Amino acid sequence: RVKERGKAHFQFYKTEMNSVGAHIVSLETHLRKALAKDEFMLFYQPQVSLATGKVKSFEALIRWNSKELGMISPANFIPLAEDTGLIIPIGNWVIDTACRQIKKWSELGKKGIKIAINISPKQFLQPKLVETIKESIRKHKIEPSLLEIEITEGAMQDTAETSPILNSLKELGVTISIDDFGTGYSSLNYIKQFPIDVLKIDQSFVRDVINSEKDAAITTTIIHLANSLGIEVVAEGIEEKEQAEFLMRANCHKGQGYLFSRPISATDVEFKIFNGNEEMVIF
Ligand code: C2E
Ligand code: MG
Ligand code: MG
Ligand code: MG
């Protein structure tokens, strides 16, 4: 699915000649130069303990501020990065930046703060992923479990390659999370086969959890399943207080969404969330 979408983007943005014969520079050309021009940033969205209101983890979300094109959302360039292979250097930059941030926050006295990064399918299946992550953890001297790897169910489809990669990551000690849980074809099979630490309930279930009996049932079932397997469960896309209260009553461990905070810069995390509070209580 992601691939098809990516292809469509690629077609759309391919270099073209305009009427006077000049090349319109493609999105791809800009994307190729973006790393060297230092145009990427990681924003961090807090994950809030629904029992205590404490924040001990963040999801890192990439932002591309292109000098020529302005702000471009990851939904609009990650598929192109996947198709062109640029996801590998961009993904390596994400790994390095997140590990550096973990180190920095632990040096600021914020011990045990976790950062979750997103790994896309092509990045997940590249042979050097485990080595790159291992090297980055070593270079920045961080506790491996503080780095969380979010993989979508789509990336796990090829089970022959998936198991050894996930097992090596597990051996390394990083935290393994399934992103957008419940939207894939064999969600239950994945948690049966793979060493999963965290499930992230997809936003599409959380959105109507108050008004749809089906979404409420699916959401509570995922939470029960996670609880009985000793897996941590995080709900994404919480925008309303009623959703947070529902999830809290259902014993969902953590919540993430605009209700608590949008993704913000590392500096904003330090000023608005850490801000001298040992507890970092968000409500
Ligand atoms: P995702 O990993 O499922 O990330 C959650 C998305 O939901 C983020 O969009 C986040 O900003 C957004 N979100 C958070 N809270 C709410 C809410 O309350 N309501 C709504 N409507 N949305 C909310 P974003 O940052 O635009 O990222 C989109 C997707 O791009 C991510 O989905 C992820 O698949 C991908 N992505 C982002 N950063 C990276 C990265 O560094 N590497 C890779 N490979 N993919 C990334
Ligand atoms: Mg994610
Ligand atoms: Mg998600
Ligand atoms: Mg997603």
pLDDT per 10-residue tile (average), the chain, 283 residues = 42 51 75 97 97 94 96 95 97 98 94 96 94 98 98 83 95 97 86 95 97 98 97 97 97 97 95 70 62
> What's this model's pTM, rounded to 2 decimal places?
0.92
CA distance 160 to 141: 32
Q: Other C-beta atoms within 10 Å of 198: how many?
A: 24
CB 280 within 8 Å of CB 271:
no
Index of the ligand 1 atom closest to the CA of residue 119: 44
- Spacing, Cα 82 to ligand 1 middle (Å): 16
- Spacing, Cα 20 to ligand 1 middle (Å): 39
Index of the ligand 1 atom closest to the CA of residue 42: 41
Cβ of residue 94 lying under 6 Å from some atom of ligand 1: yes
Q: Whose CA is nearest to atom 2 of ligand 1?
A: 118
CA distance 130 to 147: 13
CA distance 128 to 94: 15
Cβ of residue 121 lying under 6 Å from some atom of ligand 1: no
CA distance 164 to 131: 13
Q: Which one, of 177, 107, 169, lies nearest residue 142 by Cα?
A: 107
| Radius of gyration of the chain, Cα coordinates, nearest whole angstrom | 19
Contact residues for 210 (Cβ-Cβ < 8 A; gap 6+): 216, 240, 242, 243, 246
| The pLDDT of residue 13 | 45
| The pLDDT of residue 5 | 44
Report ipTM for this prediction.
Answer: 0.98
Index of the ligand 1 atom closest to the CA of residue 82: 44
